[in-house]
Structure 1
Amino acid sequence: MAEPRVVLTGIVMGESVRWHDGKLWFCDWAAGEVIRLDSGEPTVVTRMTGLPFCIDWLPGGELLILDGPGARLLRDGAEHADLSPIDGAHPWNDIAADSRGNAFVNNIGYDFPAGPPAPGLVAVVTPDGKARPVADGLLFPNGMAVTPDDATLIVAESHAARLTAFDIAPDGTLSNRRVWADLPGSAPDGICLDATGAVWYADVPNQHCRRVREGGEVLATIPLPDGAFDCALTDDQQTLYAVTADYTDPQAMFTGHTGRLFEISLAAN
């Protein structure tokens, strides 16, 4: 695979990288922007207030935005679900939708970074906009991914150094919790699945993206110059995109414009 190539600079804090409809999308949390790359140029699709916020799409193409501080899920800009009855006090973090129209959203369970760590949860928002918790006891739930057959939800537990999996029922109920991969020494953040069923995960303190098989076997590691927050694959599986930022100065992460978007060719030389 090729060396990472810088595609975009001047991002404040990039997150929620997605490949959708042939284009790369991501969120710049501190700038409050949802951004799409059009022929390599950034286009601001919409603006948000507060962070975190993350994106995905329903099967019909409607854009979902998880408004973390507002404890709500938006669908094409309108409120789809109120999450505050489940937890209105702590940040809602990441989102992953399945092809049935269920949207899985997670809450980290404490006031990061100031508060003492506490377990978080996953909730499901069904197509009718009703939300309910479906898993708890997760140690900083972060990136999530649904397998293409809608059978499994994989959740990165950043404070537990592992990927955790659940079986998905048609109504979004989760069961059969299990460790998908132990990742000693890691802090998995954003994740994505590849066509073989392996997971790529971004790791902030270890400054890399890593590909692992179920069970934890490491298949590839891509070093990056700063903390890696999230990653996404193109449909043809030939390119991985990753967002990074200088995480050593927390204030600079919100004001410093140290964030970058990298492109990594995975094609065999």
Structure 2
Amino acid sequence: MSELQTLLTGLGFGESPRWHEGRLWFSNWGTQEVVAVDLAGTNEVMVRVPTTIPFCIDWLPDGCLLVVSGREGLLLRRESNGELVTHADLSGLAGIWNEIVVDGRGNVYINGGDFGAPGIIALVTPDGSARLVADGIAFPNGMAVTPDNKTLIVAESHGNCLTAFDIDAVGNLLNRRVWAALEGAAPDGICLDAEGAVWYGDVPNKRCVRVREGGEILQTIHLDRGCFACMLGGINKQTLFMMAAEWRGFEHMADGARTGQVLTAQAPAPGVGWP
């Protein structure tokens, strides 16, 4: 791994990083902004979202931006004129929604749940219908889909593990299994690389970790604040972007502190799959 670099500072809580059209896009929680930044650190606000937290992003195969409006239970779609419209209403399935990943077939997976209850994953199909496809997940966070569209991996932050599901022809999740047990870890946002490993952010342990299936730790990057999510992008998709911020508990998330940063390092293998 190369030396750690600071790309951007002064953020709230950077979440849901995505490499898209030559820039890193991410949700800036606490500010109602979706921001894009290039490799030189030049950044701009791309979308303003009518919610505070959580909201996460990804793209449909046709290039339309999707935004999860978590507290409202809505999946929003940005139209060509910049307007955000309802793509799917998830409010009947759970009380709050968190992370999103769109696979190569246009299936949209979104996780969430209700406070004090096990988490779930919902599927929004290309025709706009939504249904529950997994439950009993211990605080679901980041998700990724393998390049062949056959496996979904989800971080269970309170389960200390990464969990995998097979994806069938109609998008259902089957054959649940522990992909990697992570004792003492709280995996958050994740991404996949070409060697079959997963990078995950870990807020309480202030680190970003690369792990292979079965749980072998390959690399650990220690930070001075919590790592909420990570993404591979940049030249040849071999730059690791880490979303870091000081964590003082949920009760302080809206206190206006701007400790959020985007950090980078060169990774040993390029990013693959979705997001």
TM-score where L is the length of structure 2: 0.91
Residues 17-96 of structure 1 aligned to structure 2 (within 5 Å)? 17-38=17-38, 39-48=40-49, 49-76=51-78, 77-87=84-94, 90-96=95-101
Residue 168 of structure 1: aligned partner: 167
TM superposition shift of 1:147: 0.6
- Per the alignment, residue 114 of structure 2 pairs with 109
1:98, distance to aligned residue in structure 2 (A): 0.7
**Is 1:97 matched with 2:102?**
yes
Counterpart amino acid of residue 106 in structure 1: N
- Give the corresponding residue for 2:221: 222
1:48-107 per-position Cα deviation (integer Å, ceiling 9, x unaligned) = 1231000011111111111101101112222110001212xx220000011111100001
**Long gaps (5+) in structure 2:** 79-83, 270-275
Do the aligned residues in 2 keep the contact of 1:109 with 1:140 (CA within 8 Å)?
no
Answer whether contact 1:125 1:131 (CA < 8 A) is retained: yes
Give 1:155 shift: 0.4
Alpha-carbon displacement from aligned partner over 1:138-194 (angstroms, at most 9, x marks no partner)? 000000001111000000000000000001123211110010000000000000001
Q: Deviations over 1:216-254 (max 9, x none)?
A: 110100111100000000162421000111103655543
Conserved? CA contact 1:240–1:263, under 8 Å? yes
Q: Distance in 1 between matches of 2:226 and 2:32?
A: 20
Structure 2 counterpart of 1:263: 264
Whole-Å separation in 1 of the counterparts to 2:41 and 2:161: 34
Provide runs of 4+ in structure 1 moved above 3 Å.
249-253
2:145 partner amino acid = V
CA pair 143-261 structure 1, distance change in 2 beyond 3 A: same
**After alignment, is 61-70 or 131-140 more displaced?**
61-70
Normalised to the residue count of structure 1, the TM-score between the two structures is: 0.93
Please give the per-residue CA displacement for 1:122-147, whole angstroms capped at 9, x wherever unaligned.
00000111000000000000000011
User: Which whole-Å CA distance do the structure 2 matches of 1:253 and 1:265 have between them?
Assistant: 30
Contact 2:31 2:52 survives alignment (8 Å): no
Equivalent pair of 1:246/1:253 in contact (CA under 8 Å): no
Q: 1:109 and 1:147 mapped to 2: Cα distance?
A: 28
Counterparts in 2 of 1:132-171, with a 5 A limit?
A: 132-171=131-170
Give me the whole-angstrom Cα distance separating, in 2, the residues matched to 1:135 and 1:251: 29
SS in 1 for 2:114: coil
Amino acid aligned to 1:12: G
Distance 1:267 1:131 in 2: 37
Look up the match of 1:177. 176
Distance 1:222 1:41 in 2: 25
Amino acid at match of 1:71: G
Match of 1:114 in 2: none
What is the distance in 2 between the residues matched to 1:238 and 1:205? 26
* Percent of residue pairs bearing the same amino acid type: 55
